[in-house]
């Protein structure tokens, strides 16, 4: 059994292979400062001719930056392959001034995707993000804001994916964000208490009302996503376009086995989070738990316990081996880990969680490392990790 020590918040009939999931359009009804890091590869101007395109998705460089952009699944929405997340940091771990600096550096570097949720810092993350966006005055059409709905409050009706909470929860998020709409609203986990048809109809309603442009899922399994898609097709509703999933060296099965199949069948893309597994993959925990690290924060004793577990010790040992590979490539462990996520089929964007600008610039430098991830090098990493998922459907019996 595979054990991950990454973060877990909150407590997680199809068309043909060539069919575009948004081909059928519905008529519109009337009725989203910590310690510094020394980066070996910085987010410097690159030679554009050296950047390789993604093998599975339409990809292009920005006109005024070296950021790379991909379609969100098979939708027409173009998002930066690196996005800025707000979990743990905005409204909690970092000051509002640092949050503004991070957002500014990210935007100036070509990042156009900003992710948040109603549950992050009890809504303060959305408030902080909204205040910064209002202050900066950037064109609303130049960036993408996503938020997630599920945990909105303590009352029974303020949680889950009922029609009531999806609509009221999203309106609450928009109020905190000071926006007229979000580009993508995610269902922040599945809800056994809400019928799938009710969820899909409510998501379609908020899109028809102009409160969101698209909707997606977060921590849903492939069966649940396919059920939502089938209901949308059956009743001429709007299907989900994206799944938010945890993805890193030690959490691979879902993104590498299940989501690519959904991408090819129904066009659902992957927006992944926790590429550094709460900092594990940066090497910061190789010699223990630093005083100002996430594992040392109040409320994260579970992370410290996992680091000290037998599985955690095995993972830390593999990180030390990957450190030698990163040195050989003249990059940091963080850059290698993020680039490794970006190379995966169907991944539209990887969400970054940073607490200072040095970390952000270091992570943005992963774009240069991506061009060095040749098939032989990826195979070497798979051998080192020893956990490459295998699709039982493709196993040839002797």
**Integer Cα distance of 86 and 351 in angstroms:** 9
Task: Count CA within 13 A, CB hemisphere, residue 186.
Answer: 27
User: Which residue shows structure tokens 């804001």?
Assistant: 145
Phi, psi of 65 (to 5 degrees): -155, 175
From the list 69, 107, 120, 263, the catalytic residue is: 120
Q: Is 69 a catalytic residue?
A: no
Q: Which helix (H) or strand (E) holds 206?
A: helix 196-208
> Is the Cβ–Cβ distance between 347 and 260 less than 8 Å?
no
Element (H, E) at 375: helix 375-385
Per residue, the 3-state secondary structure of 152-189, as one string, reads CCCCHHHECCCHHHHHHHHHHHHHHHCCCCEEEEEECC
CA gap 361, 109 in Å, rounded: 9
C-alpha angle 295-357-69 in degrees, rounded to nearest 5: 100
Q: Please count the CA atoms within 13 angstroms of the CA of 156 that sit on its side-chain side.
A: 2
**Cβ count near 38 (within 10 Å):** 7
SS3 content of the chain, % helix, strand, coil (to 5): 45, 15, 45
Per-residue CA distances from 336 to 30, 224, 299 (Å): 49, 32, 29
84 Cβ neighbours under 8 A, 6+ residues apart: 102, 103, 106, 111, 113, 114, 115, 351, 352, 354, 360
φ, ψ dihedrals at 324, nearest 5°: -65, -40
b (16+ CB within 10 A) / e for 10-37: eeeeebeeeeebbeeeeeeeeebebeeb
Rounded distance between C-alpha atoms, residue 46 and residue 367, angstroms: 10
Which residues are marked as active site?
120
């Amino acid at each position: 059994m595979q054990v991950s020590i990454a973060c877990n918040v909150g407590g997680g009939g199809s068309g043909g292979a060539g069919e575009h999931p948004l081909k059928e359009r519905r008529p519109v009804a009337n009725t989203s400062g910590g310690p510094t890091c020394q980066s070996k590869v910085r987010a410097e101007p690159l030679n554009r001719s050296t950047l390789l395109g993604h093998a599975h998705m339409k990809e292009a460089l920005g006109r005024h930056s070296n950021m790379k952009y991909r379609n969100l699944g098979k939708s027409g929405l173009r998002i930066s392959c690196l996005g800025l997340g707000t979990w743990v940091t905005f409204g909690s771990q970092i000051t509002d001034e640092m949050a503004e600096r991070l957002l500014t550096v990210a935007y100036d570097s070509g990042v156009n995707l900003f992710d948040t949720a109603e549950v992050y810092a009890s809504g303060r993350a959305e408030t902080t993000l909204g205040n910064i966006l209002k202050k900066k005055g950037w064109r609303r059409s130049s960036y993408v804001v996503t938020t997630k709905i599920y945990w909105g409050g303590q009352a029974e009706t303020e949680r889950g994916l009922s029609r009531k909470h999806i609509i009221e929860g999203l309106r609450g998020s928009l109020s905190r964000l000071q926006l007229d709409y979000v580009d993508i609203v995610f269902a922040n986990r599945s809800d056994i208490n809400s019928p799938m048809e009710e969820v899909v109809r409510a998501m379609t309603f908020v899109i028809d009302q102009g409160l969101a442009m698209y909707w997606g899922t977060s921590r849903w399994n492939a069966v649940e996503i396919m059920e939502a898609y089938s209901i949308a097709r059956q009743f001429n509703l709007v299907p989900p376009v994206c799944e938010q999933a945890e993805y890193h060296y030690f959490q691979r099965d879902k993104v590498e086995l299940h989501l690519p199949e959904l991408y090819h069948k129904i066009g659902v893309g992957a927006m992944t989070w926790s590429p550094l597994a709460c900092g594990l993959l940066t090497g910061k925990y190789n010699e223990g738990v630093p005083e100002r690290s996430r594992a040392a924060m109040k409320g994260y004793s579970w992370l410290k316990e996992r680091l000290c577990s037998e599985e955690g010790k095995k993972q830390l040992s593999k990180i030390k081996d990957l450190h030698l590979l990163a040195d050989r490539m003249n990059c940091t462990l963080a850059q290698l880990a993020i680039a490794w996520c970006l190379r995966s089929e169907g991944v539209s964007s990887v969400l970054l969680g940073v607490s200072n600008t040095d970390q952000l610039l270091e992570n943005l430098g992963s774009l240069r490392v991506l061009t060095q991830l040749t098939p032989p090098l990826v195979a070497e990493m798979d051998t080192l990790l020893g956990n490459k998922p295998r699709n039982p459907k493709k196993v040839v019996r002797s």
